[in-house]
Structure 1
Amino acid sequence: MRIAVLGGGHGSYAAAAEMSERGHEVWFWRRDAGAFAAIEAQGGIEVRDHAGTRTVPIAHLTSSLEEALSAAELVVIPLPATAHEDLARACAPHWRDGQVVFLPPGTLGSLIFVEAARAAGNEARVRFAETGTLPYLVRKHGPASIVVSVYATRLPTGVFPARDADEVIALLQQAYPSVEPAGDVLSGALMNAGPIIHPPLIMMNAGPLEHFDAWDIHNEGTQPSIRAVTNALDAERIAVREHLGYAAPHFPLADHYSPDGDEWMYGNAAHEKLTDSGDWREKINLQTHRYMREDTAIGLSLFTSIARWAGKPMPVGEGLLALASAITGEDLYAAGRTLERLGLADCDRATLQERLHDGF
């Protein structure tokens, strides 16, 4: 399959390498062509994971977004939600009929891309899909090297428009066999683990994060009281899903921490692999880090707005968002990706369900 991978972050490098290693023809796009110099000199991306270390060649390195998109059947965008609006505008003129766009995870970013295409007058029939996490626990170890601690084993994925779900899921499974159907994109967005795991971890570890040069919120930062808050927040997410009629599995985050519970998105014992790697011992700036800017300001604001709209309150979520707003000095709900800002808050449930099924 012809696949475009967009972006220069950890997940984008992992996706370009994995899709290439699986035998797909990959166009790997970054705005900065010079950033590819190390990959070109090395002959590919060096990958270190459970299978060892090897260099994976990438067929096409390009700084032309038009080139990457015009070639692709599947477009993979493993970028933070903070990049969606600018990228959606840049992509808007170049979509063509039949393409599938995969946002892992998406935070309803699908609708940002749909609106940008509509604003650009592009009426191509493009389908979007969102899942609950990146397909990798990965860190870059240089300009052409990555270490993958864990690959996702289950990727619950929602599709827009949902009427095309069977076709879209079948195509995605050619690239990611771990993809499994999760209904529409609102269901997919409510699978996003980032707004559940990261806001409690950064807010409740604010002291050591600001005091120490580096701190691992997933290791010594994950203590019983913090886990209790995470579990309560996740219970609110699941209650909203159930209130909206979405069926199990809901992928409760507790399974991520359990070595022998139901298989979570990264499989069993993934948390231990993450902490053993040492790659998440880092300096987290509470003003700028993506755990605040993506998972809290965008992700948690979306979750709480859905809860408000559905009439199923998220008091723990609202409290964490209030704390984050106090830390940053901003009203993160007002600036967040809410149903109000997406123009959907005035829809009743039947109308929104119809739009998610049939398209806007």
Structure 2
Amino acid sequence: MKKVTYSIIGAGNGGIAMAGYLSHIGYDVNLYNRTLENIQPLIEKPRIGLTGEIEGYGELNLATNNIKEAIEGTDIIMVTVPAMGHYNLAKAMAPYLEDGQIIVLNPGRTGGALEVYAAIKKDYPNKNIVVAEAQTFIYACRATSRTDAHIFKSKKEVSLAAIPANKTLDVINLLKPAYPQFIPARDVIETSINNYGAIFHPAPTLLNSGHIERGAPFEYYTEGITPSIGGFIERMDAERMALGRLLNINTLSAKDWLEETYGAKGDNLYEAVQNNPAYHGLQAPKGLNIRYIYEDVPYSLVPMSSLAKQFNIETPAIDSIIRIAELITGIDFYKEGRNIERLGLKGLQVNQIHEFAEKGSISEEREEGVVA
């Protein structure tokens, strides 16, 4: 059986770690980054060093800032760029995508696969491609330089779903030799709602924004999530789970997810965070111009809040974080983010939402009113 080939899109924390790992275990890997300056050291010497859970190095097949070169002839395109770049990336890749190629968003945040699939199909409706999304990124990791990454811990399980949904198991089977942690989800609505970055990223950042903005050193999770912040995060999580129940998907609380993913236990979320070895040593960011606000609020929390409003579900904790982010940044995230209109979900009933997620289209007409 031919070993699959990979393109990794994005040379940030996750992209460097993923490209290094896959090439380290013997796969042919192309690494793409839009900004030449950030990938130039790997163009000159295409070798990534790894420390932490995985020690060693990986030799890249190619490092480039040319998207056509990066994806040409590869089997699986692993996207690690922030969610705010998914739409433009889809448009940039679309002319060069080949029938049979698989795009995997790592992660999709909320609605990523829907957005990317629609963007590609709008201009190239006859291209036979699959767009999948992971529920979360498979590692806790950091790039330590432009050519090195430290992998703190790999997650034990990560849900994944594809559009079309009948391709999910095919995608997982292709990924399995490298990533046996991927397990199938019902569809991309399930992976979107079970987006734990939405729960663990914006709230601790904004509720510690004073310390972060002045660059005070502290461990982001173990020190940034105090008992009271942990309690607030659990309220956000309860709202997410209520939306999941309405959409008839399997949901797991953030506390239980920490146990399932990392083996971290506790009587509440605060205790589970403190007992998670993967979070120890992860430092808080220096400054507020970060993905935890500019990605996770508009591309994770906004679609959850927008969808909840369509079904008259109240989300006061989630909405308060969105509002604080808007007041601090001056950006209307409800307008700029992945709202239900942008995702094509406005006016859809629950069964239609799943049909849209499974097929990329719906066979029935949309309802003018909201139907729960």
Q: In structure 2, what is the Cα distance between the partners aligned to 1:311 and 1:33?
A: 46
Q: In structure 1, what is the Cα distance between the partners aligned to 2:36 and 2:336?
A: 32
2:145 to 136, 142, 164: 142
Q: In structure 1, what is the Cα distance between the partners aligned to 2:230 and 2:28?
A: 42
Counterparts of 1:1-360 in structure 2, within 5 Å, are 1-39=4-42, 44-52=47-55, 54-106=56-108, 107-247=110-250, 250-255=251-256, 262-264=259-261, 266-268=262-264, 271=273, 272-277=276-281, 279-285=282-288, 288-360=289-361
- Structure 1, residues 117-154: CA drift from partner, whole Å, max 9, x if none? 22323521111111221111111111211111111211
Are the counterparts in 2 of residues 131 and 191 from structure 1 also a CA contact under 8 Å? no
Are the counterparts in 2 of residues 274 and 280 from structure 1 also a CA contact under 8 Å? no
Percent identical: 28
Q: Which moved more, 1:43-52 or 1:139-148?
A: 43-52
Deviation for aligned residue 1:101: 1.0
Residue aligned with 1:141, SS: strand
Aligned AA (1:132): Q
Aligned AA (1:317): I
Aligned AA (1:27): N
Residue aligned with 1:71, SS: coil
Q: In structure 1, what is the Cα distance between the partners aligned to 2:329 and 2:135?
A: 26
Q: In structure 1, what is the Cα distance between the partners aligned to 2:311 and 2:74?
A: 37
Aligned AA (2:318): G
Deviation for aligned residue 1:244: 0.9
Q: Which moved more, 1:5-14 or 1:304-313?
A: 304-313
Aligned AA (2:358): H
Q: In structure 2, what is the Cα distance between the partners aligned to 1:76 and 1:214?
A: 32
Q: In structure 2, what is the Cα distance between the partners aligned to 1:65 and 1:6?
A: 9
How many residue pairs get aligned? The number is: 349
Deviation for aligned residue 1:228: 0.3
Deviation for aligned residue 1:316: 1.2
Q: Which moved more, 1:198-207 or 1:166-175?
A: 166-175
Deviation for aligned residue 1:225: 0.4
Q: In structure 1, what is the Cα distance between the partners aligned to 2:73 and 2:88?
A: 21
Q: In structure 2, what is the Cα distance between the partners aligned to 1:63 and 1:346?
A: 40
Are the counterparts in 1 of residues 19 and 60 from structure 2 also a CA contact under 8 Å? yes
Q: In structure 2, what is the Cα distance between the partners aligned to 1:255 and 1:350?
A: 27
Q: In structure 1, what is the Cα distance between the partners aligned to 2:72 and 2:40?
A: 24
The 3 A distance-change label for structure 1 pair 121 and 281 is closer
Q: In structure 1, what is the Cα distance between the partners aligned to 2:351 and 2:280?
A: 46
Aligned AA (1:193): Y
Residue aligned with 1:12, SS: helix
- Structure 1, residues 66-103: CA drift from partner, whole Å, max 9, x if none? 12222111110012101112211101111222111111
The unaligned stretches of length 5 or more in structure 2 are 266-271, 362-372
